[in-house]
Structure 1
């Protein structure tokens, strides 16, 4: 019998709590020091990394600026209300999603990532295989590439400067550190860039289309479909995660909680105490994480020539799988 990740986590947490309860304070301190030293050993580090990856039940993956924060807040709110989760930092946990798992044995461990940090890479630098996801479920959230590229432009011109120094220190990004800085050109120039722009986005989508059979289970979610029918899409997502029998009123409340207007207000108030969901300038609407939240908003920023250019790229190179071809 193979134990699932949630059960294994519960056993380990319970065993650790039992051991700690039987030790005097000095004994707990010594054990903690010993384990801290052991954790620095290469073999232990490898085992921890292996377990960390294998313990993930599901990944929520997207190219940056595809509505991932919106979806993760809805998922987190459903889990909180449906399972009665309580914690002094419940809002921060809802935003992170993964840290909800220790609060209840029925909460799946959901890791939210962009996968491969594509916004700092050229198309041919993207990893082609998704084999590392073979033991987990994957939710791939996608959005019209034309809306994504406009949103990324504002992210790189209005927000990147506030966290670039942190990203530059990430091990997997150190070789791209010189690229991680605010973009100084205009939108027309940005859509033609070779790093992290439209060509990278199209390649990223195509790589995932070719690898969608790799994960244990795969679910494609389109931003536009959430906008059209959030009840249907959110229920599909939580059921895919293994969370069953969620009442309609919980779904509705989660949708209301993560509405654009409420997210904007929470961002202003720093409800989540996270720089991830904080405007860099409260007077500049384009500096908010919750910037527009519109379908087809690219038409407000791109001229006809630029739109024709992006349309031709999509028509020629983007997989039909996503149903975004103009």
Structure 2
């Protein structure tokens, strides 16, 4: 049985968060794929003003960013205490205990992806150049949802750099923690989905897990998006489920761009098993401090 409280689904953008959210929806729905045209069938985005407003019955869109931050903490708290069954929340912010406040936590699912693959996907989602995306990924003060047009749908999200974002969750997020690498989800989907089911309290049922793996294959998701669309697709994107290949950076970015990403993030990449040459090793035991 799942622990009472919020399971944080944490990641830097374009690292596989949506993929895991869809898998959780399948595990809770007999392995059937949810309607991607109905985002309410997935777990909420903790930064969504619409979700906060519906839950709190308050006009949060008219509030200042500081007021919205307080309301988000309250919405997360209510979601964790009032949800019947496992409570999940998607989040892209770097972890900050002072900002999250007293939210009852059941644990953290941290999804990571080689930043050399994140960068092209992030650039496509934002409609910016690859070099600009790489620069944003290195900014420790980077935030999205700033006041103005961006704030129509989401409150301020303090992402930080790719490295500081991932490290904040690795070292300080509510425990227990399940680390899922995008590359392992592709290479070992049965094992990863079994671990996901065990961690969140869903049945460890072979047939259910096999159905979930089949339903969440990239081909299945592309077909579902083509049929019903997907609300989370960026305004400048042709498709949300664009490529989804681990290691595509070898053909998609230049050697200089790959070197820049390695220089910016090699400490956390090494900690997670990502090699300079693209090799992938096991995550060392000391990479996940337990508390």
| Equivalence for 1:23 | none
Using the TM superposition, give the Cα deviation of residue 127 of structure 1 relative to its aligned residue in structure 2, in angstroms. 4.2
Q: 213, 223, 237: which one pairs with 1:265?
A: 223
Note the 1:227-242 alignment, pairs <5 A: 227-242=186-201
Give TM-score scaled by structure 1 length.
0.58
Using the TM superposition, give the Cα deviation of residue 323 of structure 1 relative to its aligned residue in structure 2, in angstroms. 1.6
> Helix, strand or coil for the counterpart of 1:60?
strand
Separation in structure 1 between the aligned mates of residue 270 and residue 104 of structure 2, nearest angstrom: 24
Structure 1 unpaired stretches of 5+: 6-55, 117-125, 158-182
Which deviations, in whole Å up to 9, do the C-alpha atoms of 1:80-99 show, x marking residues without a partner? 117x9xx9999645423799
Using the TM superposition, give the Cα deviation of residue 221 of structure 1 relative to its aligned residue in structure 2, in angstroms. 0.9
| Equivalence for 1:153 | 123
Q: 271, 280, 283: which one pairs with 1:321?
A: 271
> Helix, strand or coil for the counterpart of 2:135?
coil
Between the two proteins, the alignment pairs up a number of residues equal to 221
- The reply on whether 1:59 has 2:20 as its aligned counterpart is no
Counterparts in 2 of 1:192 and 1:115: CA distance versus 1, 3 Å:
closer
Higher relative contact order (CA 8 A, sep 6+): 2
Q: Greater share of helix residues, 1 or 2? A: 1
- The reply on whether 1:275 has 2:231 as its aligned counterpart is yes
Counterparts in 2 of 1:309 and 1:92: CA distance versus 1, 3 Å:
closer
- The reply on whether 1:191 has 2:141 as its aligned counterpart is no
| Equivalence for 1:71 | 20
Separation in structure 2 between the aligned mates of residue 60 and residue 323 of structure 1, nearest angstrom: 21
Give TM-score scaled by structure 2 length.
0.64
For the 8 Å contact 2:117–2:246, the answer to whether it is kept is yes
Separation in structure 2 between the aligned mates of residue 128 and residue 97 of structure 1, nearest angstrom: 20
- The reply on whether 1:290 has 2:260 as its aligned counterpart is no
Which deviations, in whole Å up to 9, do the C-alpha atoms of 1:126-184 show, x marking residues without a partner? 84768646733111111111111221111000xxxxxxxxxxxxxxxxxxxxxxxxx3x
- The reply on whether 1:203 has 2:164 as its aligned counterpart is yes
> Helix, strand or coil for the counterpart of 1:240?
helix
Using the TM superposition, give the Cα deviation of residue 247 of structure 1 relative to its aligned residue in structure 2, in angstroms. 2.0
Using the TM superposition, give the Cα deviation of residue 270 of structure 1 relative to its aligned residue in structure 2, in angstroms. 1.5
